[in-house]
A and B are shown apart, each in its own frame.
Chain A
Amino acid sequence: MAVRMDKSWLSLSSENVTKLAAHLGVYQLANDDGEILYIGMAGGRTLFGLKGELQKALDEPPTGVTRFRVEVNMAYRTRRLELLAAHVSDHGGLPIANTDIDESSLGRIRPG
Chain B
Amino acid sequence: MDLALTEEQQLIVDMVRRFVRTEIVPLEAKLDPDADELPIEDFDRLVAMVKDMGLYGLDTPPEWGGPDIDLVTRCLIAIECGQHRAGLYAPCYYVFGGARQAQLFEATEAQKDKYLHPMLRGEKKVFFGLSEPSGGSDPARAIQTRAVRDGDHWVLNGTKLWISGADRADYGLLFARTGGPGRGGVTAFIVETEWEGFNVRRAVHTLRSAKYATEIELKDLRVPHENILGAEGGGFAIANDRLMRQRIPYAAECIGIAVKANEMAVEYSKVRETFGAPLSERQGIQWMLVENEIDIRAMKWLTFDAACKADRGDPFRTESAIAKLQCSELGGKVVDRSMQIHGGLGVAKDLPLERWYREIRIRRIGEGPSEVQKHVIARDILGAGLR
Contacts and interface: CB of A to CB of B under 8 A. Distances in A.
Interface of A: 1, 3, 43-45, 73-79, 81-82, 85, 106-112
A77 B202 contact: no
A109 B209 CA distance: 18
Contacts of B217: 112
B227 interface: no
Given A76-B34, A109-B201, 4 more contacts: A45-B32, A45-B349, A78-B205, A110-B199
B33 interface: yes
Chain B interface secondary structure, helix, strand, loop or mixed?
loop
Nearest to B202: A3
B205 A44 contact: no
B202 A107 contact: no
B200 A75 contact: no
Interface residues of A, dominant DSSP: loop
Interface of B: 32-35, 165-168, 193, 199-203, 205-206, 209-212, 214, 217, 349
A98 B200 CA distance: 23
Nearest to A107: B167
B168 A44 contact: no
A108 B214 CA distance: 11
A108 B33 contact: no
26 contacts: A3-B202, A3-B203, A44-B34, A45-B32, A45-B349, A74-B209, A77-B35, A78-B205, A78-B210, A78-B212, A79-B205, A81-B212, A82-B203, A85-B167, A106-B167, A107-B165, A107-B168, A108-B168, A108-B193, A108-B200, A109-B200, A109-B214, A110-B199, A110-B200, A110-B201, A112-B201
B151 to A, nearest CB: 27
Contacts of A109: 167, 200-203, 214
A82 B203 CA distance: 6
B201 A111 contact: yes
Nearest to B193: A108
Contact of A78 (B166, B200, B211): B211
B33 A78 contact: no
B265 to A, nearest CB: 21
Nearest to A109: B200
Contacts of B210: 77-78
Contacts of B199: 110
Given A78-B209, A78-B210, A108-B167, A44 B32 contact: yes
A106 B212 CA distance: 12
* 8 residue pairs, one from A and one from B, having the closest CB atoms: A107-B167, A44-B33, A78-B212, A44-B349, A82-B203, A75-B205, A43-B32, A75-B209
User: Which interface residue of A73, A77, A79 has the most chain B CB atoms within 10 A?
Assistant: A77
A39 to B, nearest CB: 14
Given A107-B214, A108-B168, A78 B32 contact: no
